[in-house]
Amino acid sequence: MAVPTTTISDRYDANGSTQAFPITFVYLDSGNIAVQLYDGALGTFETLVEDTDYTVSNDTVTTVATYAAKYDIIIQLDPDLTQLTDWVNNDKFTADSWENAVDKLTLITKMLQDQIDRCVRGPDGDASLDWKLADGAVDRAGNYLHFNAVTGAIETVGILDPNVTVTTFSQTILDDETAAEVRATLELATLWNLLLGVDDLATGTLDDLLLATCGPFEIKPWNKSLWARVGTSISTGTANTNTTNKLVLSTATFSADGVVAGDVVHNSTDNVYATVLIVESETSLLLNWDAFPDGNEAFVVYDEPTLPEQFVELTGALLDGDGTVAADTNTVNHLIDADGTDWTTNVSVGDWAMNLSTGKIAKVTAVAAHDLTLQWDAFPGGNETYYIYAGTVTISDADSLLNGYVVPEMNISGRFLGGGLSAGLAEDDQGQGHKHEYEEASTAAAVGGGGLTKPNSIATAETGDPVDDGGNGTPRTGEHTQPRTLRQTMIMRIK
């Protein structure tokens, strides 16, 4: 027979009922056929067995079972790589025996060509391409195939780009198998502990961290936006028109409601936010992104915050200390005052203890009557004066979306914070050392009769350091003048 086509396979979708699948390509016998079952859901292949899973008759593969719609039946040309015809000298030479032998070689050639077509291969005519791999499994193990940047030759390298150096520290991250291990390597748990006084990320939320460090706002994972949470609701409703990047409600009165550019729109159906760019009309707002994709979502418009009425004060109350009471026992990571207040009556975990001698602050992690366990050793001398401040405050503002939130306090004294490798580096006020010039009067006659005398010489006198005035403590001096505290009211929107 002839082999007039290059087709070597048939593929059929199973449907739960069909069992007969025609063979449309040339083959010699059923031994030249391979039948595979492909699972589209899992992406796996299973080779079926002739006479067990299927039979071949009249150019048709008939499966024993029926297969669901997720399967494909693949019939593939798969001849043995053998030549079994033996011609004997002076024996009969038949056309069929010759043709069958040639047909089988042609079928084998078709199968090999199909395999070659599905291989990685170089372009025709590129004599410089050498596909030889590095000698020995040891040389190749754990490496990657790489094309030389100059010659284009194939090489094996340890990293994808041999010009990139992976530092020792980076390797400690790359070999971490879990997110928890990465956090430990990067010491994120330590950072979280410093900020919130908790042991690890598992005991807090991202809102906790953001509120502790930056004030009242919330992260929205749907659009990755951060929004201020202190505006007043000025317009509500449900959109009734779908227009890209717009909020449209045919019955709205946006201008009359006081909506202006910069206000915040909350899609309360999908819980995402957008900013008003332009108030196009009473019924249409142009937004900074398509926050109302369906055109039927409920909304609330919040105005830009105004001061001071809508400012949320985040300053913890003074719980104990008057600037004179001091610790009386030196125990690492503790503040102990045996003669002081029973702290179980007014101090809680999460409050702050300030060392007035150094200005450093530590979070309270456990409370006993006269013994506070602290986040770190903020009272190393065991004899320093102290203040204790409330560590949290509950926001009470009916117009704020943060109403009722319990917010952790930080830097409750409003101190300037200096850079450094440890927590609580608060700055103190100080004066700059300096000198004064003065004039020595001569004994010459007064000039102009006004009592002024002619200078005889100019000298420089150096004043001593300032001393305690009995009310403000020991003054501090240094190479520059600086204040101790700064308080500034701010409203922030981050997007």
> What are the backbone angles phi and psi of residue 364, rounded to the nearest 5°?
-80, 125
Provide the pLDDT for residue 488: 52
CATH for the stretch 232-302: 2.40.30
Closest CA to 262 of 291, 238, 286: 286
CB 300 within 8 A of CB 264: no
Tokens of 53: 């899973």
Provide the pLDDT for residue 418: 54
Radius of gyration of the chain, Cα coordinates, nearest whole angstrom: 42
C-alpha to C-alpha distance for 270 and 222, rounded to whole angstroms: 9
C-alpha to C-alpha distance for 402 and 380, rounded to whole angstroms: 38
Could you please report the per-residue DSSP string of 125-141? T-TT---PPPSSHHHHT
Kindly tell me the burial class for residue 20, based on how many C-beta atoms sit within 10 Å of its own C-beta (0-12, 13-18, 19 or more): exposed
CB 434 within 8 A of CB 463: yes
C-alpha to C-alpha distance for 407 and 149, rounded to whole angstroms: 56
Residues 6+ apart with CB under 8 A from 104: 28, 79, 83
Q: How far is CA 366 from CA 348, 351, 389, 454, in A?
A: 8, 10, 15, 71
- pLDDT tens for each residue of the chain, 495 residues long: 788 888 889 999 999 999 999 999 999 899 989 999 999 989 899 999 999 999 999 999 999 999 999 999 999 999 988 888 888 888 887 888 888 888 889 899 999 998 888 888 778 887 777 777 766 787 777 777 778 778 777 777 766 555 667 777 887 888 888 877 887 777 665 444 444 444 444 444 444 444 344 333 333 333 323 333 345 788 999 999 999 989 999 999 999 998 988 788 888 888 777 878 889 999 999 987 788 999 999 998 887 653 332 222 334 577 888 777 788 888 988 999 988 889 999 888 878 787 877 767 777 889 999 999 987 788 888 888 888 877 766 666 676 666 666 665 555 445 555 554 444 455 666 776 666 555 555 444 444 444 444 455 555 555 666 777 766 667 777 766 767 655 554 544 443
Respond yes or no on whether the N-terminal peptide bond of residue 308 is cis (omega within 30° of 0).
yes
Q: What is the DSSP letter of 203?
A: G
> How many other CB atoms are there within 10 angstroms of residue 427's CB atom?
14
Q: What is the DSSP letter of 474?
A: S
C-alpha to C-alpha distance for 383 and 473, rounded to whole angstroms: 17
CB 225 within 8 A of CB 288: no
* 359 Cα distance to chain centroid: 34
Provide the pLDDT for residue 203: 42
Tokens of 232: 């007043």
Tokens of 345: 């009556």
Amino acid identity of residue 21, one-letter, is F
Provide the pLDDT for residue 484: 60
C-alpha to C-alpha distance for 257 and 251, rounded to whole angstroms: 12
Provide the pLDDT for residue 159: 60
What string of H, E and C letters represents the secondary structure of 359-416? CCEEEEEEECCCEEEECCCCCCCCCCEEEEECCEEECCCCCCCCCCCEEECCCCCCEC
Domain residue spans of the chain: 1-119, 232-302, 318-390, 432-477
Tokens of 24: 């449309």
Predicted TM-score (pTM) of the model is 0.34
Q: What is the DSSP letter of 251?
A: T
For the chain, how many residues are written? Answer: 495
Residues 6+ apart with CB under 8 A from 53: 35, 63, 64, 65
C-alpha to C-alpha distance for 372 and 387, rounded to whole angstroms: 12
Q: Percentages helix, strand, coil for the chain, rounded to the nearest 5?
A: 15, 30, 55
C-alpha to C-alpha distance for 102 and 100, rounded to whole angstroms: 5
Provide the pLDDT for residue 14: 95
C-alpha to C-alpha distance for 346 and 369, rounded to whole angstroms: 10
CB 235 within 8 A of CB 254: yes
Secondary structure class of 115 (helix, strand, coil): helix
- What burial letters (b/e) apply to 84-99, b meaning 16+ CB within 10 Å? eeeeeeeeeeeeeeee
Strand partners, 285: 247, 279
Q: What is the DSSP letter of 88?
A: P
